[in-house]
Chains A and B, each alone.
Chain A
């Protein structure tokens, strides 16, 4: 019995999209749009910018789907494209402003995140987002997408050692902020339960 479209793996859908299936591509977009959004949001100025970049990433993927190699994970390919687009977008904006700046300047933690709330009330991912761009991104790719260190290095264009250092620093920072009490908060527990339901 053939799998339904929801049961197919990302790689199967990507193969079908490469063969011209628009429906498979739409399913991939449905699966990944929120995930890309939370990945890109901290390095952009607003939700609208993040949505635009997600849109742009899928447009680029749609155009280049013929270049997808099924030997590689679809998520690695997707996040690599998104990462490059985010860097290009940042450079364009820097050029428009008329002054070059390092990318990390844009990785300012979202000021709206966690204001007036401690980590116990805002959830661990919200706390992770305040760590800054690189650390948040590696945490998301590692625990949000379950990518290996090697795959994260490929996505970010860094060495494996650099990725491990970033992960270690992210853990150390989070551990320092959260302290020994790592018990779950009622809000995150409820949200997690709702998402599972």
Chain B
């Protein structure tokens, strides 16, 4: 295990230039195989660099031909870039299909998730009971309505009470009886 780690650190030192940690250095000094690996790694680097020229020299020469007329450098020479067509204009049908799917999905989501649940039978029964309570107490209901009647009606009632009071005073003072004549009923 220590050999594996030490060899990895030897490789790291070759690649990054970092020094071997103390424990790895001590191990390499005491382990013949790892010391050999360290020597080999150094020799490999040196030999690979040295033999690079020989390796390249073995390759047969060949021509790299680039015809200027066939392969111009448009950006370097003209400084212009070919305008890019938008993805939407290149693929209208897939975009339309995708939009349709998204809209349909949104509708389904709205119906299934966002819309509130329908009232239960119990809730319906409670609502009906509350309605019956209101309709079964018309006086209170009227009182509630009367509290909200217009100021004109209030004024009318005040005048009516004043007239009634005046009539009662005259009856008592003059000892006469004044009868109240009801307005004629409207023909239906």
Stretch at the interface among B47-55, B96-104, B160-168, B177-185: B47-55
Stretch at the interface among B4-12, B86-94, B107-115, B141-149: B4-12
The verdict on A62 contacting chain B, using a C-beta distance below 8 Å, is yes
A195 and B57 in contact, given A124-B48, A143-B45, A175-B41 (Cβ under 8 angstroms): yes
Q: What's the least CB distance linking A84 to chain B, in Å? A: 18
Let me know if A55 and B65 touch, CB within 8 A: yes
Q: What's the least CB distance linking A40 to chain B, in Å? A: 11
Let me know if A144 and B52 touch, CB within 8 A: yes
The verdict on A135 contacting chain B, using a C-beta distance below 8 Å, is no
Q: Which of B12, B48, B73, B74 contacts A164 (CB 8 A)?
A: B12
Bound-state Cα–Cα, A180 to B52, Å: 21
Which are the 10 A-B pairs with shortest beta-carbon distances? Answer: A195-B53, A191-B54, A66-B75, A143-B48, A168-B11, A125-B55, A66-B76, A175-B40, A29-B64, A182-B43
A65 and B65 in contact, given A144-B48, A171-B11 (Cβ under 8 angstroms): no
Chain A residues at the B interface, C-beta cutoff of 8 Å: 18-20, 22, 25, 29-30, 33-35, 37-38, 47, 51, 54-55, 58-59, 62-67, 123-126, 128, 139, 142-144, 146, 149, 164, 167-168, 171-172, 174-175, 178, 180, 182, 184, 188, 191-192, 194-196
CB nearest neighbor in B for A197: B53
Bound-state Cα–Cα, A188 to B54, Å: 7
Let me know if A171 and B51 touch, CB within 8 A: no
Q: What's the least CB distance linking B95 to chain A, in Å? A: 28
Let me know if A125 and B48 touch, CB within 8 A: yes
Question: B28-74: which residues lie under 8 A (CB-CB) from chain A?
Answer: 36-37, 39-41, 43-45, 47-62, 64-66, 68, 71, 73-74
Let me know if A167 and B11 touch, CB within 8 A: yes
Bound-state Cα–Cα, A66 to B73, Å: 7
Let me know if A171 and B14 touch, CB within 8 A: yes
CB nearest neighbor in B for A63: B71
Let me know if A164 and B11 touch, CB within 8 A: yes
Q: List 17 A-B contacts (CB under 8 A).
A: A33-B64, A58-B66, A62-B73, A124-B44, A124-B48, A124-B51, A125-B54, A128-B48, A139-B48, A146-B49, A167-B11, A168-B8, A168-B11, A171-B40, A182-B39, A191-B58, A192-B53
Specify which chain A residues have a CB less than 8 angstroms from the CB of B62 in the assembled complex: 33, 37, 51, 54
Bound-state Cα–Cα, A178 to B75, Å: 50
Specify which chain A residues have a CB less than 8 angstroms from the CB of B71 in the assembled complex: 59, 62-63
In the complex, besides A54-B62, A125-B55, A175-B37, 9 extra interface pairs with C-beta distance below 8 angstroms are: A34-B59, A38-B55, A58-B64, A66-B73, A123-B55, A149-B16, A168-B11, A174-B40, A192-B54
Chain A, interface SS category: helix
Specify which chain B residues have a CB less than 8 angstroms from the CB of A180 in the assembled complex: 36, 40
Specify which chain B residues have a CB less than 8 angstroms from the CB of A51 in the assembled complex: 62
Let me know if A142 and B15 touch, CB within 8 A: yes
Bound-state Cα–Cα, A185 to B117, Å: 87
A125 and B52 in contact, given A38-B59, A51-B62 (Cβ under 8 angstroms): yes
Let me know if A182 and B47 touch, CB within 8 A: yes
Let me know if B52 and A54 touch, CB within 8 A: no
Let me know if B76 and A35 touch, CB within 8 A: no
The verdict on B156 contacting chain A, using a C-beta distance below 8 Å, is no
Q: Which of A55, A128, A139 contacts B64 (CB 8 A)?
A: A55
The verdict on B77 contacting chain A, using a C-beta distance below 8 Å, is yes
A19 and B59 in contact, given A62-B66, A182-B47, A192-B50 (Cβ under 8 angstroms): no
